[in-house]
């Protein structure tokens, strides 16, 4: 059974040596070129591919998400995650950065792919799948964006998962707002991912200004986890992690003893 493909022709076209560490397309053989010329990918129906971005920050011990009011149907005038269709010449990362820039005004943001949502029927326009992304940004930059801002409440513990509730605190009803499409589920997946990364990556690096107090870092962790953490142990763990470096200066304009400011050390490659 194993031998069938070993007996085939010796992989024509001089591709045997290439290490293929890069993602470049190999030069096709004559046979393959002829095949590709006659090949029509559009012989089969294709879905539309969208990109949605969950832009998160931490402020006042809570998670906030950047939203966008839809100007067109479907879900016209409803709040949604910033999103749009991937262009045919873009990578997903490029599409996500374009959308973040166009709909929230952020340049140069930390961005990571999250999950692809593709339930048939998730979009009334037809077959639309969306590759959701997560972006993290510090509160000061977040607040400077004109996007509507939603406060997130997570109704499940740990990394259980599920949709989350979003509140717009300005005034009005204090019940969760409705988001377009399956965006509450996407948000839930984003929070779950963030909680999972918290213990293993210096996630605060993206959510805090360059210099910050240990208390501010602890606030970030508590907001993401949705529960309090032990202060003593947290300090010890962070200082022992090797990710932090004391600056020697201290915070100002506080009504209590000013805490020392730290910065993240960029981890050297191993």
Binding residue for a copy of itself, selected from 103, 184, 195, 225, defined by CB under 8 A: 184
248 binds a copy of itself (CB under 8 A): no
Q: Which does 256 bind (CB under 5 to 8 A by kind): a copy of itself, DNA, none?
A: DNA
Q: Which does 109 bind (CB under 5 to 8 A by kind): DNA, a copy of itself, none?
A: none
Output the 3-class SS for the chain: CCCHHHCCCCCCCCCCCCCCCCCCCCCCCHHHHHHHHHCCHHHCCCCEEEEEEEEEEEECCEEEEECEECCCCCCCCCEECCEEECCCCCCHHHHHHHHHHHHHCCCCCEEEEEEEECCCCCCCCCCEEEEEEEEECCHHHHHHCCCCEEEEECCCCCCCCCCCEEECCCCCCCCCCCECCCHHHHHHHHHHHHHHHHCCCCCHHHHCCCCECHHHHHHHHHHHHCCCCCHHHHHHHHHHCCCEEEEEEECCCCCCCCCEEEEECCCCCC
Binding residue for DNA, selected from 108, 143, 227, 260, defined by CB under 7 A: 260
Beta carbon of residue 261, minimum distance to DNA (angstroms, whole number): 8
77 binds a copy of itself (CB under 8 A): yes
The region of 77-85, 212-220, 232-240, 243-251 touching a copy of itself under the rule CB under 8 A is: 77-85
The region of 8-16, 49-57, 123-131, 247-255 touching DNA under the rule CB under 7 A is: 247-255
60 binds a copy of itself (CB under 8 A): no
24 binds a copy of itself (CB under 8 A): yes
Q: How far apart are CA 51 and CA 132, in angstroms?
A: 6
Give me the 218-237 binding string for DNA, x by CB under 7 A, dash otherwise.
Answer: -----------xx-xxxxxx
Q: Which does 174 bind (CB under 5 to 8 A by kind): a copy of itself, DNA, none?
A: none
Residue list 107-136, contact with a copy of itself (CB under 8 A): 113, 115-116, 118-129, 131
Binding residue for DNA, selected from 198, 213, 263, 264, defined by CB under 7 A: 213
Beta carbon of residue 29, minimum distance to a copy of itself (angstroms, whole number): 9
């Amino acid at each position: 059974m194993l031998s069938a493909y070993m007996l085939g022709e010796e992989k024509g076209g001089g591709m045997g040596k290439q290490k293929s560490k890069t993602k470049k397309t190999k030069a096709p053989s004559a046979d393959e070129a002829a095949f590709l010329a006659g090949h029509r990918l559009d012989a089969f129906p294709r879905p539309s591919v969208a990109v949605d971005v969950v832009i998160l920050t931490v402020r006042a011990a809570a998670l906030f998400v950047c939203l966008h009011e839809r100007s067109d149907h479907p879900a016209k005038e409803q709040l949604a995650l910033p999103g749009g269709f991937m262009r045919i010449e873009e990578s997903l990362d490029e599409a996500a950065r374009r959308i973040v820039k166009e709909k929230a005004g952020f340049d140069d943001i930390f961005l990571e792919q999250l999950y692809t949502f593709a339930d048939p029927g998730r979009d009334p326009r037809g077959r639309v799948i969306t590759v959701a992304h997560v972006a993290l940004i510090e509160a000061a930059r977040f607040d400077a964006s004109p996007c509507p801002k939603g406060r997130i409440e997570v109704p499940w513990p740990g990394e259980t998962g599920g949709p989350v509730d979003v509140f717009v605190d300005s005034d009005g009803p204090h019940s969760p707002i409705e988001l377009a499409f399956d965006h509450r589920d996407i948000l839930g997946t984003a929070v779950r991912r963030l909680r999972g990364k918290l213990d293993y990556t210096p996630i605060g690096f993206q959510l805090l200004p360059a210099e910050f107090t240990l208390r501010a870092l602890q606030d970030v962790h508590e907001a993401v986890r949705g529960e309090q953490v032990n202060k003593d142990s947290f300090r010890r763990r962070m200082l022992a992690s090797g990710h932090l470096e004391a600056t020697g200066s201290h915070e100002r304009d506080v009504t209590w003893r000013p805490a020392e400011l730290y910065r993240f050390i960029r981890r050297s490659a191993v």
